[in-house]
């Protein structure tokens, strides 16, 4: 019979050749392995044959349909037993075992001393918080193998052991069945500070949140910028897009920030961008931590004395839903104060004071559809989350007030349209109509109901 060829099925690089001239091969036997697009592809014998010549060697680059070897057909009793049939699927290959071991280094089970420190403070680990927040088996972590950018002054083994994930456990998960972006600073890694690589992870994830319109939950505990990263030149830790990218999410997706313990500097900056800020009673939140305050010549302060909850709750920085407190929903559309009520002395001034006092006491959701001016807008602006339909117009002064102040005539729809109020951060969620606004509100309020009784469901 005429000598035949085995052709390359694709462009690639020869990883290895498993046959030699004169060797008898069976149907389906592995003869060459090619690498293409970072994947290995097995080329098998098309027929029982005797290898005549081998035309390639390991390392060669081949094009599609290029001959790999020639063979002469031969008689055979049946197909060859391929290596695939001999592989035990339960056996973990050494290279895979190395990957699994490397991932395991950063898990709580392998960090008993770090876990003990959290227990001593009465707190949970970053991974424990995310495990409870996320639906089971839905968390896809970004960058779990990165370490602090300190190779110039510390050994790699030390960095792997002591700076897992560069102090930020983050990724995409489902919460109550809906996709969500979740980030948790790990206070056991360099005090939860913001390092070069955890900034890079945030940048990537914030871009994903914007593109996919994913809500963001941020566990913000930590000490802010980290001066000890020596591998990458930086300019005061401010030459990163993280803060800009996060701020741009305001009005695009819901942002929920959680603080437990100390939250200073850059961590507090991210927390402050959130629509809803939740904090434990022992938290301290400040734009400058103890080191920054002392370095600025302002004295020595204990961390717990910088922005304690006794200050941050009354001043409205923190929104806390206490047990037994009911959330408040306000549909705010309207024109503000009414001058024509003549029957009694106005008590309107008490309304705004009492409404403002609810801030940080209960969750406050404001909804507007259409025109919302003056006093109505004032109440709307006090809300933690503001939802508006696309045709809304919001302003502290309506057309009458603007004209009365000598500023000219302005159409109601031109006072504060959504394209302005959404871009400047007044609005948190823009919806098509009131039906969608109500649906969004119901989903939001489900976050404040606490654990519920399991529903009825058939066995899975």
Would residue 133 be called left, alpha or beta, if left means φ above 0 and alpha means ψ between -120 and 50 degrees? alpha
Please state, in angstroms and rounded to a whole number, the distance separating the CA atoms of residues 216 and 378: 27
| Residue linked to tokens 């709750």 | 313
Residue 439 is classified by DSSP as H
Percent of the chain with pLDDT over 70: 85
Which residue from 403, 397, 391, 373 is spatially nearest to 437, judged by alpha carbons?
Answer: 391
pLDDT by residue for the chain (460 residues), tens digit each? 678 999 999 999 999 999 999 999 999 999 999 999 888 999 999 999 999 999 999 999 999 999 999 999 886 555 555 444 556 778 888 888 999 999 999 999 999 999 999 899 888 899 999 998 899 999 999 999 999 999 999 999 999 999 999 999 999 999 888 899 999 999 899 988 888 898 999 999 999 999 999 999 999 988 888 878 888 876 555 678 899 999 999 888 889 999 888 999 899 999 999 988 888 888 899 988 888 888 888 899 998 899 998 888 888 888 764 444 555 566 665 555 655 555 555 544 567 777 777 776 667 888 888 788 888 888 888 888 899 999 899 998 888 888 888 888 888 889 999 999 998 889 998 998 888 888 888 887 776 655 566 667 666 5
Which residue from 407, 414, 352 is spatially nearest to 383, judged by alpha carbons?
Answer: 352
Q: What does the angle CA 143 – CA 149 – CA 155 come to, to the nearest 5 degrees? A: 105
Which residue from 269, 271, 267, 360 is spatially nearest to 309, judged by alpha carbons?
Answer: 360
Please state, in angstroms and rounded to a whole number, the distance separating the CA atoms of residues 282 and 280: 5
Tell me the residue ranges of DSSP E strands in 122-275.
140-141, 168-175, 178-185, 216-219, 255-259, 262-264
Give yes or no for a contact between 432 and 382, defined as CB atoms under 8 angstroms apart.
Answer: no
Phi, psi of 439 (to 5 degrees): -65, -40
53-85 pLDDT, tens digit per residue, is 999 999 999 999 999 999 998 865 555 554 445
- SS3 state of residue 73: strand
């Amino acid at each position: 019979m005429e000598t035949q060829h085995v052709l390359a099925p694709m462009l690639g690089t020869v990883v290895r050749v498993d046959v030699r001239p004169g060797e008898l091969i069976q149907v389906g036997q592995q003869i060459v392995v090619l690498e293409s697009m970072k994947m290995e592809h097995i080329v098998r014998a098309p027929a029982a044959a005797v290898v005549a010549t081998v035309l390639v060697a390991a390392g060669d680059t081949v094009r599609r349909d290029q001959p790999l070897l020639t063979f002469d057909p031969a008689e055979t009793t049946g197909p060859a037993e391929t290596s695939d049939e001999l592989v035990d699927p339960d056996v973990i290959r050494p290279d895979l075992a190395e990957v699994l071991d490397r991932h395991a280094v950063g898990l709580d089970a392998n960090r008993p001393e770090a876990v003990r420190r959290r227990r001593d403070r009465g707190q949970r680990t970053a991974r424990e918080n995310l495990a409870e927040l996320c639906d089971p088996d839905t968390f896809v972590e970004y960058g779990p193998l990165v370490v602090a950018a300190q190779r110039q002054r510390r050994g790699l083994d030390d960095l792997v052991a002591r700076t897992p994930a560069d102090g930020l456990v983050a990724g995409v998960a489902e919460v109550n069945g809906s996709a969500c972006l979740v980030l948790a600073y790990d206070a056991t890694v360099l005090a939860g500070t913001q390092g070069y690589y955890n900034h890079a992870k945030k940048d990537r994830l914030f871009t994903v949140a914007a593109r996919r319109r994913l809500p963001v939950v941020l566990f913000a505990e930590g000490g802010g910028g980290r001066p000890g990263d020596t591998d990458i030149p930086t300019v005061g830790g401010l030459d990163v897009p993280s803060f800009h990218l996060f701020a741009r999410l305001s009005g695009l997706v819901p942002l929920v920030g959680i603080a437990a313990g100390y939250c200073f500097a850059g961590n507090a900056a991210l927390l402050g961008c959130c629509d809803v800020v939740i904090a434990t009673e022992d938290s301290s939140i400040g734009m400058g931590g103890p080191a920054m305050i002392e370095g600025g010549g302002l004295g020595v302060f204990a961390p717990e004395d910088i922005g304690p909850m006794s200050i941050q709750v009354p001043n409205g920085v923190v929104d806390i839903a206490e047990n037994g407190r009911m959330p408040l929903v306000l549909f705010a559309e309207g024109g503000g104060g009414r001058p024509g009520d003549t029957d009694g002395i106005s008590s309107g001034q008490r309304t705004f004071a009492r409404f403002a006092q609810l801030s940080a006491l209960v969750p406050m959701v404001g909804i507007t559809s259409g025109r919302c001016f003056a006093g109505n807008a004032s109440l709307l602006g006090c809300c933690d989350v503001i939802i508006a339909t696309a045709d809304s117009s919001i302003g502290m002064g309506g057309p009458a007030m603007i004209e009365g102040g000598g500023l000219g005539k302005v159409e109601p729809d031109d006072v504060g349209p959504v394209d302005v109020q959404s871009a400047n951060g007044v609005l948190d969620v823009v919806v098509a109509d009131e039906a969608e606004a109500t649906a969004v509100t119901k989903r939001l309020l489900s976050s404040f109901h606490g654990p519920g009784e399991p529903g009825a469901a058939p066995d899975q």
